[in-house]
């Protein structure tokens, strides 16, 4: 009986160890945009502007983000600030409206801008000619219905520091 109990403990420990190893290996795999957040380039005129890295997560990070996203999505509705039960339910509509508005804006000619929409938060990434173009893009995004916040990450001019991670950077 004791030998069988020792074997069962050993088998359980081995299974747990193997399971943890598999989980750790899976956690290293990078998933590109697993939540299907709207991410697209809306203007394309600044030739030397590096594309931003799309939203990406390891499997481990994705599981951590899931809890936050559920909490953030539901708290908006429970507080009476959202008509949808999740703030992420707005994202596709915001992206459609904002893309059209940014593409149609004459003041953004000569820019390369990408948008990422996550939970009613809009990130503007890319390159603009001058600070007036950056302010115009931000104003258009802020005026888009259902947008809660705008996070501008726009490089002004052809050179200088990129305020976002480029797609060419290692993950």
- Strand pairing category for 121-128 and 149-156: parallel
Q: How many CA atoms lie within 13 A of 38 on its CB side?
A: 22
Per-residue confidence (pLDDT) for residue 68, from 0 to 100: 85
- Domain residue spans of the chain: 1-29, 33-56+88-156
Please provide the distance, in angstroms rounded to a whole number, between the alpha carbons at the two ends of the chain: 51
Per-residue confidence (pLDDT) for residue 9, from 0 to 100: 38
How far apart, in whole angstroms, are the C-alpha atoms of residue 55 and residue 36? Answer: 9
> Tokens at residue 58, please?
């390891």
How far apart, in whole angstroms, are the C-alpha atoms of residue 121 and residue 90? Answer: 10
Ramachandran class of 148: left when φ > 0, alpha when ψ lies in -120 to 50, beta otherwise: alpha
Per-residue confidence (pLDDT) for residue 47, from 0 to 100: 75
Per-residue pLDDT in tens (0 to 9) along the chain, 171 residues:
444 333 333 333 333 433 444 445 554 789 999 999 999 999 998 678 999 999 999 999 999 999 888 887 788 788 887 889 888 999 999 999 999 999 999 999 999 999 999 999 999 999 999 999 999 999 999 999 999 999 999 999 888 889 999 998 887
> Tokens at residue 126, please?
């890319």
């Amino acid at each position: 009986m004791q030998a069988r109990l020792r074997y069962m403990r050993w088998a359980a420990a081995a299974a747990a160890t193997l399971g943890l190893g598999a989980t750790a290996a899976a956690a290293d795999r990078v998933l590109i945009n697993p939540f299907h957040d709207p991410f697209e380039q809306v203007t394309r005129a600044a030739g030397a502007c590096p594309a931003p890295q799309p939203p990406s997560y390891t499997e481990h990070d994705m599981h951590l983000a899931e809890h936050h996203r559920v909490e953030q999505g539901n708290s908006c509705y429970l507080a009476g600030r959202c008509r949808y039960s999740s703030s992420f339910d707005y994202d596709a509509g915001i992206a459609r409206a904002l893309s059209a508005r940014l593409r149609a804006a004459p003041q953004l000619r000569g820019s390369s801008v990408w948008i990422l929409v996550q939970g009613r938060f809009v990130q503007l990434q890319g390159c603009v000619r001058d600070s007036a173009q950056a302010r115009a893009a931000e104003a258009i995004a802020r005026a888009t219905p259902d947008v809660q916040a705008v996070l501008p990450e726009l490089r002004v001019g052809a050179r200088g520091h990129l305020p976002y991670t480029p797609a060419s950077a290692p993950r």
